[in-house]
Every structure is written in structure tokens, then in C-alpha cells.
Structure 1
Amino acid sequence: MTFIIRPADLNDLQPIYEMAKRTGGGFTNLPPDRKALMQKLERSAAGFDRVGEEVADDLYVFVLQNTATGEVRGTCQIFGKVGQRWPFYSYRIGALTQHSVELERTFRADILNLSTDLEGATEVGGLFLHPGERAGGLGMLIARSRYLFIRNHRARFADRTIAELRGVIDEAGGSPFWDGVAGRFFGMSFQEADEFNAKFGNQFIADLMPKHPVYIAMLPDSAKTVIGVPHPSGRAAMRMLENEGFAWENYIDIFDGGPTMTARTDQIRSIRDAKDVKITAVSDDVGEHKSGDKKLITLGRLHAFKAAYGWIDDTGDNVIIDSNCARALGISAGDAVTYVERT
């Protein structure tokens, strides 16, 4: 059984919609709404079709497909440049230190500042893997394939890349952070705000959110304790991001308080360590318990992009790929591929 990553097309609407219904809320980039998802797929098609090579407000949607059954079992997204259609808001955690001579005491207050610092960055997001496939490194395949796409289309992406992790959601589907902060100003539940944002964007935040700083000490404990904390299902994703060189620099999501991770694009591990080679041969003698090492392998540009795990025996003079991966990705001797170590 082989899984490949490929660009999504309009025929993938139904399986993506079925996955979106499984997210459990707070997953803004994958709303369980057919119209919103179709708009995403149409926007993605336009991004893959675009001729220019500059950084732009593109969206690229990918799917994980089982080549044996044809089933779509996962998805992910890349946003070329956020904050172009509407402001890209985050809360940045800062501090204010004040000293009282009379009391001989220094006071330090942690503050949430509404910020658009991350506007213009590239964003990786929308990653969802069907529960039945959360083994065998498929989550890492989906996540890391995005970085190799960015690497091989580098001019289309910014020098900083971000990833927003979903924050803590309670058993009722609400957000303690939303209830303690923004919900007090908007008169709507987290589910209502999250759904509206997924369908129409967050311009309403610009219209209604107070611009003054929020003192964290004044928030209820339920909100304070989840600031910068990922949803339990996102802890593995956070570790993967950290392994790629992303770090949390005190930016959080304005809806659920989840951490926003940032990295310099060229320093992302998969981008930095990837290698371009030309395949000299395809062989059944390369593979598990045979010669070669397991790699994450990609080839093709834009609509032709594909990625999968495979085995490569790279001696420098000869680069031999296993037959199974070659069939899945349509690779023949003489083709140029990019690979990175499977870790």
C-alpha cells in the first residue's frame, strides 16, 4: 500500500467535506461547509494555475491519497501570503513593568496586544488526517511535503512561515479563551464566531474588537490557563513543527488562544536539508530489508507535484529508487527528484 500527496481538485470536495465534519470545531481552515470548501478548491486551482513566480495571496490545497483504493484520507494547505484580503490578527503577549518608589515594589503585568505583525508571512495549515490513518508516519508525510513544495517553488513564498495550532476546546465545543476575552465584546458563541470566520474571514474582528491591551491578570482562570496551549490533538503537530525549527514567539490565535509557531522559511529543516538528484535507475533490489534508505521523495511542479515515501540508494554516481515508489509517483530513469531523510 502506497500513499501519495498531490494537489487537490474539485472532485475531492466530498472526501474533504467528510473529513471537515470530523474536526470537532475550532478548525478554521477546514470548515464543514460545502460552499466554503468549494471556494477553497477553486482558489487553490487558481493558485496552481498562476503563471507568475512572485509571492502572492495564493492558496494551495493538497490531499493524501491511497493509490491502491483511490481514497482520499488526509489534506493540508499552504497560504502564500496571509493578511492580503483582510488583516491577519494575532495577540502578542507582552509585558509592562512599573515601579513604585513609595511602596518600594516593582509590578510586572502580562498583556495581550492585538497585532498584525505576522501579515505577509506564508502559512502552513489545514492539516487533517483521517483517524484510520494516524500511523505509519502519514502525518509527517503530509506536513513535510508542504515544505518541499515551498522549497521547489521558493519565489512564491515569503521569508517567514507560520503555523497556527488549534487551542483548547472544551467538551461542549466552546473555547475558554474566547469566552474570557473576545466573546465578551461580540455577543456570540465561539462556535458562531469560528464558523463565521471560516466562511467570511475575520474582518469583523477589525470592526468590533477593542484595540486596547488586555491585562491577563484580569481574565478568568479558565482563560488564563489555556493561553498558548495547543489542543490535545495538536501536541504531536507542535512537536513536528519544533523538529522542523519552528518556535513559539508569544503569538496566539485571537479566537481560541492556541499558539502560533514561526520560522525563517529557509531554515525550516526539510527545506534546508533537501537534496536534488537525478534518478539513474529503478530497481526491485532497493527497499526495506534491501539496499537504500527510506526518504520523503517529491517531483513535479505546481499541478504535477507529487510526494511519497520511498527508498533510494544514493551513491553519488548512481541514484536508484525502489520500483513501488517509482510506480506511485510516475518516476523513470532520468527524472529529477527532490528527497529528504525520513526522520
Structure 2
Amino acid sequence: MRRIVVLLLIVALLSGCANQPVDNTIKEKSVKVLSLSAETHPEMLRYLGVVNPDEIKKYAFLSGGVIEEFFVEVGDVVTAGQVLASLQRDKLSISLDNAGEQLRAARLDYAKAQKNLNYLNDLLADTEQLLAAGATSQQQYDQVKLQRDIAQKELSQAAALTEQAKLQAQFNEDNVDDATLTSGIAGTVLALNYESGEIVAPGYPVVLVRSERSAIHVGVSAEDLKKLSVGDEAHIKLPNGEDKIAEISRINRMPDRGSRTYLVEIAFADDGQLLLGETVDVAFEISKSEGIWLPIAYILNDGLDYVYIVENDRAKRVDVSLEMIYEDKVKVGGLKPQDLKIVGRQDDATEQQPKTGEDDE
């Protein structure tokens, strides 16, 4: 009896559920849509660049000596003409005084030789007249002529010694002047290769100074190199987020042996903002590109890139291809200006869901 009652209850419950209506309507969700239109943005080549000095000057003393003092330190900013270092002048001054004495003696010897030659020239002329008049012998004339010829050679030797002494004196004077080392450019001190009191040989670099301007080196592919020329603009993104515009100053047509890329150099006045060896983002504008550009955040992906468009008030999935990026937008293929893309994440819209939001122009 109890089994029959349970069966009747189950049948009653099933009959009640069958009589309830089922809601098969699709729930409408409000979403925003974006009207698409063709836009034009630059086509950019993007690379990483490395900061290098535009120029490094190596300053050295022309003469060797003992370094007396440095007037700068590594990292100091210097101006053109600023004193960098100096040599002890004691020995240089002595050498200059000695050279001056030698020059004065050489000039005195030259003056004596010139005076002697003038005298013998006059004597030879008088002897020649006497010989013509028969008042002197040929032997006497030949002797005077020989003395005149010797005097000419002595004058030539005195002239050569005077010139040599003059050059030596000028050299020593230059050495004294060179005892003070000055910068020929405005820039920053990179290195001091000696210390005060040390002996430095002639011509050895003592102070290294980098110029104010930097050179950003970029290695580009052979294909991209064909699109670039000296003078083209380069957009530099600094580490602090600041954007700068510079120009290509040099292109090396020989590839790097290791990377097989080509060096593109960008001259850049960084005002000390960039460190040597630091990397920066570099972009070269090579053309303008027209098409459908969408914010990157609006592209969906499940293995393929796609968006939703509105078709007959329904959301329809359309696969797209990504062609190029400019700032926060990407140029896509597969869409036409008359299409509408639903804005939002993947869970904001599903295929066949009605569109009820308003256009966001």
C-alpha cells in the first residue's frame, strides 16, 4: 500500500513540472559599439638603440714630464678652453732658457759670418781691379777668392745652425705652453689615466673627454636599411617616458660580422640625461599607412585574433589579421569601414547575442 502512494506522488510531481512554461528567449545584454572608419597613421620601424658618445677626445702632453695637478675629476662637465691638467714647469723652463741662449749665440755667429763675407767680397773686387792693372799677382787673387768661397760656406752653415736653434727654441716654448692641458670641446670627463706626481711620456692620453652630444647606435636589418637615409627623423623614447626627435647622422653600409646588421647612427643632444651603454626605444617613420586601426586592447584571441562586428543587430565573430602597430593602435585586415566592432572583453559579448547599446563614435 505504501509503495502505491509513493508512486502516485512521483507521478503528480512530474505532471506539475511538465505543465510549467519554459523560457527559451535569449537574454539581451547591453554593449557599446564602435563605428569604424579608415584612419592614416605612420608606418614605423622599431628597434632598440644603444647610447654611445658622439665624440671622445684624448688629451695628451706634447712633452713628457711630471704631472703637477689635475683641475677636473671624472664626471665633471667641462667647457671648451677649460684647463684640465698641468705639468711641472721647472725643467721645461730651464730647457727653454737654454734654447734661447743657443739661439742668441747662433744669431751672433751668423752676423759675424755675414760681416766677414761682406769684407771678403769687397776685397775680392779690389784685388780683381789690381790684377787687371797688373798691380798684383794671379796667386794673390786666387788666395782672396778662396777665402771668399770659404766665407760663403761658413755663412750657409751659420744660417742652418740659426734655423735649427730657432726651431729648438720654438719647440721648447711650445712645451712650456703645452704644460697646461686644455679641453677643445664642451663635454664630460670620462677618465684620468694618471695621478698627480706621476711621470707621463709624450703623446700618452692623460684626460678623456666625451662631447655633449650622444650618438645612438642602432643595428638594422638589410631589408629595413634600404628604407632609411641620412637626415631621416628618428623618434627616441627616453627611459623617463619623454619623446625626442633626432636625425640619422650616419649609415654604415658594411654589416657587423657578428650580428649581420647595419649600423645606423643618430646624433642626439641628451643634456646628460642618458648614460653610456643605456638602451632606448628608437622608431623610424618610413611611410603613411591608411586602413582600419583599432585600440590594441579591443583585439580578442583564442589562438586566432578576432573581433565582434554587428550584423543584423547580432554580434558576429570576424577573424582579423594584425598588420602593424602605432602607439596604442593596431592596423587590422579583414574589416571594412561599414562594419561595427563591439567594444569590450570576450565575456562582454558572445556570438548571436543582440546588440542594444548605442554607438560610441
Instruction: Give the TM-score band, short-chain normalised.
Output: under 0.3
- Determine which structure has the larger strand proportion and give its number: 2
TM-score normalised according to structure 2 size: 0.20
- Identify the structure with bigger relative contact order (alpha carbons < 8 Å, sequence gap 6+): 2
TM-score normalised according to structure 1 size: 0.21
Which of these two proteins has the greater Rg computed from alpha carbons? 2
